A and B are shown apart, each in its own frame.
Chain A
Amino acid sequence: MLWVRERPGANIVFRGARVLDPTEGIDATLDVRIDDGVISAIAESVDTNEHRVVDAAGLVLAPAFVDPHVHLRTPGREDEETIASGTAAAAAGGYCAIFAMPNTDPVLDSAATLGALAEAAERDADVPVGFLAAITRGQGGQELTEMAELADAGAAAFSDDGVPVVSAGLMRRALQYASITGRPLALHCEEPSLSRGGHVHEGSVAAELGFAGYPSVAESVMVERDLALAAYEEQGIHLLHLSAAESVAALRRARDAGIRATAEVTPHHLVLTDEAVRSLDSNVKMNPPLRAERDRLALLDALRDGTVEAIATDHAPHARHEKEVPFEDAPFGVTGLETAFAVLHTRLVRPGLLPLATLLERMSAGPARIFGLARPRVAVGAKADVVLLDLGREWQVREESFRSRSPNSWLLGETLAGEVALTLAGGAVVHER
């Protein structure tokens, strides 16, 4: 279930846009009319019905994006992000729906907390928000949350993101119990006895710089364990922020064997490697860490062929003073909502490494599928969840222009190609440049 504040549906006509909806099989220059927030006409020429007309010549109109993995820091760290600021950032990034992780303070592990958040979202959210609830109480890894009640209250899925479910026995119980809710478990795969103390991918860069290593195998052994348990219990799982080639290989084998497993990858793991850590910039510190080039290429391959079907930002705002410390002292995590499309368009689509249609699918229909959300589409009768993209427009990532309350982007100062010109979410205009 998603929550958003109520807003009047838009009445708008896009004139001469390149309409690109890979799942609907459309790629043509067309007019699109939206009446009261619903797409009412798609044709070479449509009547304006006296609506506002947007000249979209040279721009791409596509299904808006869905982010399966965002940290809104609410409740508890409203200095870093709020529902209002986080959803404004999402709107600016072209998103029509986002899913927030439960590792807040307090942890979202009860229907009461979920109810309070839902109420806040109905008041403050620019973009529809879904909430994941914790798998274990307080994310403590000891006792299951009341998943049935949480599901009834509208929890989108269950996750202890930020920390793994260490006990295999408890993970099995979680899979068994979650089956009655029909909601997937979204898993942060990390074997803590292998990653312990690690800040940087274990490889030549960590060896040279002296950082404690966080090896790929710390992720992949947990991926293998969870896939084995999911197979045994015949339950679906979603693997969060994959980073290692071995994890991708395990996922591919599991999917070939018919196990219901989905996965996501972040823009930073698709674009950067551990070489970026040489800067010692705490804005390239995240969990899982940036890995080697072979891992990055494996993730890109998996994204292309659909083994990994979603791009997730893992948008993780942190206060400036908490990141302005030596690398090892800094918390894990970077922001991403406002730069995800532009950076992937610039670094992957433009150089010919990823087709634009694939990128759009993995940012929209792919993640929508994971949590059972109706896929945003450009089709007559559909609620207007669309994004207007100016692919040629170059812009510089600057702290002052962020809607997010936190400045911890790894792209500060970079010039990116591809700007979100306008976002419609749930039928309303939520962002316009």
Chain B
Amino acid sequence: MTSIRLVNDELRPPGPPPRRHLISVADLRRDDVERLLDTARTFESALDREVKKLPTLKGRLVVNLFFESSTRTSSSFELAAKRLSADTLSIKAAGSSVDKGESLKDTALTLGAYDPDVIVIRHPQIGAPQLVARVTEAHVVNAGDGKHQHPTQALLDLYTIQQQLGRLEGLHVAIVGDVLHSRVARSLIQAFALVGMRCTLVGPPALLPRGMAAEMTTDIAAIQAADVVYVLRMQHERMEAGANYVPSLREYTARWGITPERLRAGQKVMHPGPMNRGVEIDPRVADSADALVEAQVRSGLVVRMAVLYDVLTGGPVGVEALAAAEVA
């Protein structure tokens, strides 16, 4: 438990802390990120025990509200809540009242009537988590809103990089592919800046967002200079005839696909999943020891536990809850 800093009573804020949300990496400060990663490490060591469940969030209700299909993010949030003994309620848009034309506001109000402690939301529209935060009393965690943000993905990636490379500050990451349509890239760019990492965006001209405040290049050779190559999923719907972001998937793969030949020995490769093997990433790269994809998934669980814990307990202020868990 040494990694969690206790705060003196007199330094605690007066009254109950304001409702905490995790909606965008832009809302975080560097010390927030460090605290979350510390908490995740603490949980990781707890998960080594035979009985993996912690009573920390017993009696709390976590609602997972997913308006977009998702396997790893929804399962990871659900398992994170269960590992912390929270009650969970998982709602998918298909088969719910959303199918009957209910507005997001009304869905949120309805779920809000159950007094959930946390609403985890994934939605195809930018700003949906803010809307839920406005109309309910719950703490809101953004599990991906349109092309805007996916903050827990960025945090789990930082966690993975720190775990695998031993540090964050000063490292250089190249993000490769369809940056324009990627909420993962948007969250990562902010997260890397927050912890003092360098980031270069690499991709076809029309898939690099105009006006983005970042280093950008169309030259795939630029990945050579990076410590980590972060490969984005190439979404097939962007490649439909007539979209013309790139002439063809074949040409994309030839020009920007990540192959062993394009990598330096020992360069780490990450991917938020799901991968299109043979499109943005060569299967030999995906299966190599330098690919951190499974480590990313494992990090996802403990980082999401840390996020749920943090929004509910107010971080270090609520550290007694975790200490109690350790005793239990």
| A interface residue numbers (CB < 8 A to B) | 202-213, 215, 280, 321, 324-329
Of A203, A205, A206, A210, most buried by chain B (CB within 10 Å of CB) is A210
Shortest C-beta distance, A110 to chain B (Å), equals 33
A207→B212 contact, CB < 8 A:
yes
Query: A210's contact among B123, B130, B147, by CB below 8 Å, is which?
Result: B147
B104 adjacent to chain A (CB < 8 Å): yes
Give residues 103-161 of B contacting A (CB, 8 Å): 103-105, 123, 125-128, 130-131, 145-149
Between A and B, 20 residue pairs with Cβ closer than 8 Å are A203-B211, A204-B213, A205-B211, A206-B211, A207-B210, A207-B212, A209-B148, A209-B186, A210-B126, A210-B149, A210-B183, A213-B211, A324-B131, A325-B103, A325-B125, A326-B128, A326-B131, A326-B146, A327-B125, A328-B146
When chains A and B are docked, how far (Å) is the Cα of A211 from the Cα of B127? Answer: 10
Of A207, A324, A325, most buried by chain B (CB within 10 Å of CB) is A207
When chains A and B are docked, how far (Å) is the Cα of A176 from the Cα of B132? Answer: 52
Given contact pairs A210-B146, A327-B127, a sample of 10 additional A-B residue pairs in the complex whose CB atoms are under 8 Å apart:
A203-B211, A204-B213, A207-B211, A210-B149, A211-B147, A325-B105, A326-B125, A326-B131, A327-B125, A327-B126
**Closest Cβ neighbor of A280 among chain B residues:** B127
A326→B104 contact, CB < 8 A:
yes
Q: Which residues of A contact B149 (CB under 8 A)?
A: 210
B104→A325 contact, CB < 8 A:
yes
B212→A208 contact, CB < 8 A:
yes
Q: Which residues of A contact B183 (CB under 8 A)?
A: 210
- Number of A-B pairs, beta carbon distance below 8 Å: 65
When chains A and B are docked, how far (Å) is the Cα of A201 from the Cα of B197? Answer: 29
B131→A325 contact, CB < 8 A:
yes
When chains A and B are docked, how far (Å) is the Cα of A210 from the Cα of B211? Answer: 11
**Closest Cβ neighbor of A292 among chain B residues:** B211
B127→A324 contact, CB < 8 A:
no
Query: A208's contact among B103, B123, B186, by CB below 8 Å, is which?
Result: B186
State whether A203 and B148 are in contact (beta carbons under 8 Å apart), knowing that A280-B126, A325-B103, A328-B126 are contacts in the complex.
no
Smallest CB-CB A-B distances: 10 pairs: A210-B147, A326-B125, A207-B209, A280-B127, A207-B212, A210-B148, A204-B211, A203-B211, A207-B211, A326-B127
| B interface residue numbers (CB < 8 A to A) | 103-105, 123, 125-128, 130-131, 145-149, 183, 186, 209-213
When chains A and B are docked, how far (Å) is the Cα of A210 from the Cα of B209? Answer: 9
When chains A and B are docked, how far (Å) is the Cα of A213 from the Cα of B146? Answer: 14
Q: Which residues of B contact A209 (CB under 8 A)?
A: 126, 148, 186
Q: Which residues of B contact A215 (CB under 8 A)?
A: 210
Query: B213's contact among A208, A213, A327, by CB below 8 Å, is which?
Result: A208
Shortest C-beta distance, B28 to chain A (Å), equals 15
**Closest Cβ neighbor of B187 among chain A residues:** A210
When chains A and B are docked, how far (Å) is the Cα of A294 from the Cα of B146? Answer: 29
Shortest C-beta distance, B112 to chain A (Å), equals 15
B130→A204 contact, CB < 8 A:
no
**Closest Cβ neighbor of A209 among chain B residues:** B148
Shortest C-beta distance, A327 to chain B (Å), equals 5
Shortest C-beta distance, A308 to chain B (Å), equals 25
Of B123, B127, B128, B210, most buried by chain A (CB within 10 Å of CB) is B127
Shortest C-beta distance, A296 to chain B (Å), equals 16
